[in-house]
A and B are shown apart, each in its own frame.
Chain A
Amino acid sequence: MTTYIERTEKQKISDQRAAAIRLKNNRLGMNIFQVSWIMAFIALIVVNWQLRFNYSQWPPAGVPPFDLILPSVATLALLISSVLVVQALKVLRRGFPMAFLVKWRLAIGLGALFMAIIVYEFLNVSDAAMATQYGNTFRLMTGFHFVHALAILAIMCRVYQGAKLGKYSGDEHDSWAVEGAAKLWYFVTFAWMLFYLVLYWIR
C-alpha cells in the first residue's frame, strides 16, 4: 500500500506539466511527420532514377538540359527564406514581435518568389523534353513539391495574420503554431534541395 499512498499524495499533473507534454508531443509528432512524408519525395526520386535507365543518356538524346540560372535563383530565395524563418523564430522567443513580423513577411515573400519561378519553369518545359520522361518526371516532381509549398505557405500566411493580432508570445508553449509552420517550411526547403540536386545536377 505504501507506494499507492505515496503516489496519491502527489498532486495531479499540473496545467503547466500538461502544456509541457503537449509541446513535447507536438514536436515529436512534427518530427515523425517530416521523416515520414519526406519518403513520398524520395519515392519520386526513385521514379526519376529508375526511368533514367530506360535511356542511354540523361537528358535523353536531342533534349536540351534544363536551364540552371532561374531555378538556382529560386533555390537561393527558398534557402534565404528558410534562414529568415529560423531568425524570426529566434527573435520571437527573445520577445521582439515586430522584428518577427518583418522577418516572417520577408520569408513569405521569398517563398512566393520561389514558387513563381517554379511555376514559370513548370509551364516552360520544352516539347522535346515532354516527349520523354525527362520532362514528365520534371513536371511530376516540381508539381508535387509545389502543392506542398503552396499549402505550407498558406499556413505561414495564417501565422502571420495571427502574429499581427498579437496571438503569439515569446513563450514556446503558446507559439506552437509559429514553430510548427517554421518546421513545415524547413521541410519544404529540404525536400526542394533533394529535388534540385536530382533534377538539375545529377546527370
Chain B
Amino acid sequence: MTTSPSPTPAVRLTAIEKRFGAVRANRGASLEVRPGEIHALVGENGAGKSTLMKILSGAMPCDGGTIEVGGRDVTGWTTAEAIASGVGMVHQHFMLVPTLTVAENVVLGREPVSVGTFDRARAVREVEQLSEQSGLIVPADRLVADLSVGEAQRVEILKTLYRGARILLLDEPTAVLSPPEVAELWKVLRRVRDGGATIVLITHKLDEVMSVTEQVTVMRQGETVARFATRDTTPEGIAHAMVGRAVDLSVREGRSVGREAGGAPALEVRDLVVRGARVDRAVNGVSFTVAPGEILGIAGVEGNGQTELLEAIAGLRPVAGGRVLLGGADVTTLDVRARGDAGLSHIPEDRHRRGLILEYSIADNLILGQQHHFQRRGVLDGAAIAANAATQIAAYDIRPTDAALPAQALSGGNQQKIVIAREMARPFTALLAAQPTRGVDVGAIEFIHEELRKARDAGKAILLVSAELREVLTLADRVAVMYGGRFVTVLPRREANEEVLGPYMTGAKREDAA
C-alpha cells in the first residue's frame, strides 16, 4: 500500500486491531483519506468496513493501532469528541424521531435556545440556511414520519452537517434508495465535498465506487488489502481485490425457458391482502403466477410490501384475503411446515433473524425446517444429519468445513450458503428467494446466482425479491415492480431496464398489473 506523506491527510488510521470474541474484525487495517475527496471503503460483508468506521467515529474503542484526524492523534476518542472535532457518521439505519419535525430532528441535542426555551423559529431558519448551502433540500416544517426514505436520509446527513461535521462517514447510504434518489444523493455529496468536506463512503456496489469516488480502499477479512485511484482501476480490478481472485461481473441475460402454453403455474397468488404492522394493507390485492422454469423478479424500494408478501406466501403471516396455490393446490390454510412439505422452499430475507439459528452448528442449521424428516419416533437421526451435512458442505463449498462449528463462526457468504444449500437440496416446486445475496461477498453472489439459474433451468418456479435492481435484471425472466403494496407493473425482461422501472419504483408511474 502506498502512503503519500503530503498533504496532511484528513484521516489516517494505522494498523487498527479489533476483536469480537474469537473473531478478528480488523487486523492491522490502515486507511488514509485526503482532505476534500470522496473515498470509497469497499469489501464483502464482514470484511470489517463498518467496524473500522465505528472505531474512527468513536463509537467503539480499538484494541490496537492509531487514529489520526487532521494530523492529530485522537486514538481512543469518544463519539462526543469525534463530533466536536467534525467527524460525523451517517448510519445505515436512520436515527430520527418520527414525531418531531425535520428542523427539530436536525437541531436535536444542539437546540438553539433563547431565554431558556427552545427557539423554534431560529431552528427552522438555521436548518433552511444549511439546507440551501448544502443542496440537501428538505421541508423543515414537516414531520419526519411523513417523509420518504430519500428525504429522511437527507435529514440524517443534514443533522451530521449541522453538528459541524467536516468529515462525513456514510454507511451504505444507497441500500434503501430508488435509482433517481441515488442520483440525487450523488449530486448532493459532490456539492458537500466541493464545499470542503471529506467523505468516506462504505459500500459494496462497485458501480457507485466508479461513478462518485476519487479513491478506493479495499478490505478483505479485516485487512486493508488494496488502495486505488478510482480512475486508474476497473470494477473487475476492485472485485479481484475484494475476493482475492478473478470474478466474472458480466450481467447475463435471463434465458427464459418460456412458459409453456397451457402449462399449469407452479405458484399462483390471487388477490392477496396482508395486514402490516404499521399500514392497514401492506399487501393490497396482489395477483400473479409463476410458471415452472421461470424466475419472476420483484423490484421495488424496500418496505413496499415485499416482506409481507413473501411471508404470507410462506405461511409466516396471516392472510387477510385472497388465496395461495402451489402446483394447483390451495395451500392458504396450511401451516409453514405443511407448505414446505407441499413443495415450497424459502430463502428468507434476514438469515440472522429467520434463516439460521446462529448458535446452532452448521449440521443442525442444514436441517432447520426439515427436522421432522431427520428423526425416528421423535429422536433425531444423528447419522442422517451428519451425512446430510457432509453432502451439502461439499456440494455448496461451505467453509470452514467442520459441520460442528456454530453458524455464527462463518462469514456472511458462507452463512447464506447454508440457507441456500438447505432450501435448494430438498424437493420443491417453487422457491421464494428474498434478498438471496444480501450481505454476501462478490464471489458468493456469483455462486448463488448460478444456483438460482440452475434451479430455474431444472423446471423450478422462483419468486425473487431483491432491493438490488441489478440483481432482478440479471436473473428474472419477468420483472414486477411493487409499490405501496401493489404490483404497479409487470414487464418481460427484455422491456425492463433501470430507466423504465425507476418511475414505477418511486410511485411516479403506475398501471394496473395482472
Q: Do A and B bind each other?
A: no
